[in-house]
A and B are shown apart, each in its own frame.
Chain A
Amino acid sequence: MDQNGAVVTRVKPLPKIKKTKKSQQETLKYVKQHKWLYLMLIPGLMYLIIFRYIPMGGIIIAFQKFNPFSGLSGSEWVGLYYFKMLFTSPDFPRVLINTLGISMLSLIFYFPAPIVLALLLNEIKHQKYKRTVQTFIYIPHFISLVIVASLTYQLLNINDGIINQVVQMLTGKTINFLGKPEYFRGLIIGQSIWKETGYGTIIFLAALAGVDVSLYEAARVDGAGRWKMMWHVTLPAIRGTIIIMLILRVGSILNTGFEQIFLMKNALNSSVAEVFDTYVYTKGIINAQYSYSTATGLFKSVVGMIMVLSANKLAKKAGESGIY
């Protein structure tokens, strides 16, 4: 009985029907019927096995005291030695926090940027203007990080950086963007946004191109204005793409990329600038410690895997298609 006294029949949810194991014959019939689908899978499968899975055996290095000359078979087995070293290192908490910090900020600020820009560009009616802007914003992706770092220095340094000259005019002081730890994360995110947003719009623009134009027509007939159209037609159309990108992005949560951070890191901001990739570089590559870097890489991969699976589950719960 509900509040109004009406009789409400609670419908019992149907018991989950266990999938009966399809017999082999049915599967074979399916394969025969869709033989082209399976044939199409073969090249990719061969690729995966030959070029990805077989070399993956090399992960074993993480559990060995690997040295190239003795090779995989000749190097001593040390089990979890390097993992222990990583987790018990006094630097580990700091490196973890730094990495997560940059990753989180990146997720909040850098991830939406291409989406917003793509939506914005999509609204531009003047084709020539749109195309021109599109071509320009694409350029920074190709400029090497080394040049970007030196351009950043030229813009922001306290001696003759243009930005600081403006700041000085306004506030009478200069800001040591490049030296103070509190600015480091913003600097990195800002650089990433400048460099990669343009290139990142491509995938969203392609998705937007696939939106059925008739949907816009229908919306217009219903009296929808610009914002309503965006909210009800455009965004849902690219929602799938956004979710996918998000899930995949989440898998690289412990990856910050090495080169960019390395170039902007210095003695003054190293307390926030030291991330996994630079830490492994100093410890791993300079000293040629293959095992240590492989162990750290494995750790990052496992975390990434967990993140991807969780994100995918969440997406599925929210009704999205997810990766699977």
Chain B
Amino acid sequence: MAEQVIRSNKNKIKGSKTDCVTNMIIYSVAGLAGLGTLLPFLYVLAGSFATEQELTEKAFFIIPTVISTNAYKYIFETGEIFNGLKNSIFLTVVGTAVNMFFTTTFAYPLAKSHLRGRKFFLNMVIITMLFNGGMIPTFLWIKEIGLYNSYAGLILMVAISPFNMIIVKNFFQELPAELEEAARIDGCNDLQIFTKIVLPLSKPVIASISLFYAVGHWNNYFGPMIYLKDTHKETVQIVLRRIVLLAAGVQADGMDFDIMGTPPDKAVKMAATVVATVPILIVYPFVQKYFTKGVMVGAVKG
């Protein structure tokens, strides 16, 4: 007994020395990763508040010598961005909710290895991951079923991402079988097991997959571009892309329309990045808390 205690103590002491070095390495690598990703963004942030001149002359800086809000003024001037933000938020929130509904309900039955026809359904999903008909046929079909130029269409079109669905399915599969057995003994049917037991325990995967879907919707440029016709339905990505292109003088095709004045080109690109990025960045810290350990403690016992 005593030897065991001494032995384990020895390990602890040995551990603490190498532990310290390991910790240092771990913390510094993490720190480097953090810095390496933060600094460029700080440059973009600083650049969005800088003058055209400074951006042309300097290769990199974190604090602009002359602060100018021209880029932001240019972006917000026409007010379209607010409409775009509103639409994007709607698309992201509703879209993600729809996604999670379709994805979890489809993933759960497939997680049951005893399901009849399981392989068939899984194959169905995998095939869609790899094969698709292309832009024109999809577009024509969407138009045919009357979902063109509607958010309903845009959201339903991507109701399930096979990749995300498989991740959720595998997560469900790894939940201990005893849980289901215990619940069944208590008289629950499949639906109740799903809603009362499985879902609450799946917080980490739901949090992360919701995040994936949300980011997907927020960044989705191509979908709204092709499938939405009315300008008042535009999402923030479309508005921003157009602003950036316009600022870069892409339109300059020989006609001198100095109506708009000379827009601050580089700063606008950076400001647009900031405006498009910040809202969704804010979401992450809130979701982080679901990635904490200990979610499973007491699950079986409880």
Is A5 an interface position by the 8 A CB rule? no
Q: Using Cβ atoms and an 8 Å threshold, which residues of chain B touch A58?
A: 133-134, 136-138
**Shortest beta-carbon distance, A226 to chain B, in Å?**
7
Evaluate contact between A131 and B285: CB separation under 8 angstroms. yes
What are the interface flags for A165-194 relative to B under an 8 Å C-beta threshold, 1 for contact and 0 otherwise?
Answer: 000000000000000000000000000001
A162 CB to nearest chain B CB (Å): 7
Does A240 reach chain B (CB closer than 8 Å)? yes
> A284-319, CB under 8 A of B: which get 1 and which 0?
000000100010011001001100100000000000
CA distance A86 to B23 in the complex (A): 53
Chain A, 123-145, CB within 8 A of any chain B CB: 123-124, 126, 129-144
The verdict on A231 contacting chain B, using a C-beta distance below 8 Å, is no
Contact string, A55-69, partner B, CB cutoff 8 A, digits 1/0? Answer: 111110100000010
Interface residues of A in 44-64 (CB under 8 A from B): 44-45, 47-48, 50-59, 61
Interface string of A28-44 (1 = CB under 8 A from B): 00110011111011011
Residue among A31, A59, A240, A298 making CB contact with B116, cutoff 8 Å = A31
- The B interface, classified by DSSP as helix, strand, loop or mixed, is helix
Q: Report the interface size for chain B: residues with CB under 8 A from the other chain.
A: 101
Specify the main secondary structure of chain A where it touches its partner: helix
**Is the beta-carbon distance between A206 and B208 smaller than 8 angstroms?**
yes
Task: Tell me which of A37, A38, A138 has the highest count of chain B C-beta atoms within 10 A of its own C-beta.
Answer: A37
**Distance between Cα atoms of A136 and B119 in the complex (Å):** 41
User: CB within 8 Å of A: which residues of B?
Assistant: 7-8, 11, 14-15, 18-19, 22-23, 26-27, 29-31, 33-38, 40-41, 43-44, 59-60, 101-103, 105-106, 108-110, 112, 115-116, 118-119, 121-122, 124-134, 136-138, 140-141, 145, 156-160, 163, 165-167, 170-171, 173-174, 189-191, 194, 204-205, 207-208, 211-212, 215, 219, 269-270, 273, 276-277, 280-281, 284-285, 288, 290-297
Stretch of A91-99, A207-215, A266-274 contacting B (4+ beta carbons < 8 Å): A207-215
Smallest beta-carbon distance A165→chain B, Å = 10
Q: How far is the CB of A23 from chain B (nearest CB, A)?
A: 12
Partner of B277, one of A35, A123, A139: A139
9 A-B contact pairs sorted by A residue (CB < 8 Å): A38-B109, A44-B102, A140-B40, A142-B277, A202-B212, A202-B291, A305-B130, A323-B122, A324-B119
Are B133 and A56 closer than 8 Å at their CB atoms? Answer: yes
Most chain B CB within 10 A, of A40, A132, A161, A223, is at A40
Task: Indicate whether A260 reaches chain B with its CB closer than 8 angstroms.
Answer: no
Contact B174 A210 (CB under 8 A): yes
For B44, the chain A residues whose CB sits under 8 A away are 143, 147
CB-based contact A213/B167 at 8 Å: no
